[in-house]
Amino acid sequence: MEDTMIYLDNAATTPLDEKVFEAMLPYFKHEFGNPSSVHEAGRHARAALDKARQEIASTLNANPKEIVFTSGATESVNAVHKGVVLASNHKTKHVITSAIEHHCVLDCLEWLGRQGVAVTHLRPDPEGWIDPQAVQKAIRPGETVLISIMAANNEVGTIEPFGEIGKIAKDHGVLFHTDAVQAYGKIPIDVQKDHIDFLSMSAHKIYGPKGAGFFYQRQNVQLVPLVHGGGQERDLRGGTENVAGIVGMAEAAKLIFERSSDRNRLRTLTDAFWNQLKEVYPGVKLNGPRDSQKRVPGLLNITFPGVEGERLVQSLDALGFAVSSGAACAAGAAPPSHVLMAMGRSPAEAKQGLRISLGHSTTEQELQRLLEALPGAAAQRLVPVSFSDD
């Protein structure tokens, strides 16, 4: 990547922190043992996994035995959703989710739907917020086996009432999962206070390596393993653990919680940028909560009416800015955002979102340069589409 590139797509992935890289290096070279081996090299690797498990568990107020290492959030989501359904003895199985979940949740549930599982997709309000009362009303006694609502939305940043939803799930004897990929390290999460039974996470969203993740599973909650073989991870996820990646993930988790003060800085930068942008380009619209306290720090989704998001991304890329038009997993084909459509936007409007996501290295000067570039880039990309009133 060129040094001149201003990277503002941290919701898609984050650069590997130098301290994380240094923590991982020994496990690529000298500490290469298999953690399942009983000799000294294996014991060293096992000790590294145990330490990482403890460090990650402490960030969630969890027991280390409740942390299961995976290759990332997509695997974690599949393991939880499919594992819960397979473990349930309900004759009819029903799952509640939202229409704005990440595709790894929606696609997994679509597959389960083809296997006969009933799935309810709750729609959010126009700011992307899921009403806990709608969750409660959707519960089917004797049928609902899982409620899966993300902690924070990956496209518009809306912080969901996951603690309240977790309490509702607990009161009704239903298991609760939350996708915490965009929330972990950015907002407080306590699996005990928030009544969370399952939580999924990826390391590369917090300045850790790609290919490492975990899920939290509350003790005494049943789950049928998705990956068999070898007995690793308490028989819940077979396969030799990615020791270097897991060590890096734990180091990244430690660092992001040590830098908790950066959350306020990112929120202040985002608010200032949005207020200035409205002055420069009064027609710009915000997708997501108007109150920045209801969005994760550093994430802003905006629309320039009449400008397709992907075209604007391309124009800004040519000018040296990395931003996105939505979820990274959906980039390329540029379909309308399922999140924006669920929030009430038309298909044309749902193609006009632009996501700007800041990181801990983002500066005020970089945002000033983006502020100067955006109106001109948007003007060059005006397309004849209709845009209904909000």
82: left (phi over 0), alpha (psi -120 to 50) or beta: alpha
Treating both helix axes as pointing N-terminal to C-terminal, what angle do 103-114 and 73-87 enclose, rounded to 10 degrees? Answer: 30
Instruction: Tell me the C-alpha distance between 370 and 320, whole Å.
Output: 9
Angle at CA of residue 217, ends 212 and 220, nearest 5°: 150
What confidence tier does 390 reach under pLDDT thresholds 50, 70, 90? very low
Catalytic-residue membership of 108: no
What confidence tier does 326 reach under pLDDT thresholds 50, 70, 90? confident
List pLDDT tens digits, range 204-227: 999 999 999 999 999 999 999 999
Handedness of CA 294, 298, 299, 303 (dihedral sign): positive
Active-site pick, 5, 47, 328, 329:
329
Instruction: Give the lowest-confidence range in 158-172, 207-221, 320-334.
Output: 320-334
Bridge partner list, 120: 96
Instruction: Tell me the C-alpha distance between 351 and 335, whole Å.
Output: 7
pLDDT of residue 387: 38
Domains of the chain, start order: 6-14+260-380 (3.90.1150.10), 18-258 (3.40.640.10)
Q: What pTM does this model have?
A: 0.94
Phi, psi (rounded to 5 degrees) for 213: -165, -175
What confidence tier does 385 reach under pLDDT thresholds 50, 70, 90? very low
What whole-number percentage of the chain has pLDDT above 70?
Answer: 95
Tell me: pLDDT of 129 over 50. Answer: yes
Q: Are strands 353-357 and 299-303 parallel, antiparallel or unpaired?
A: antiparallel
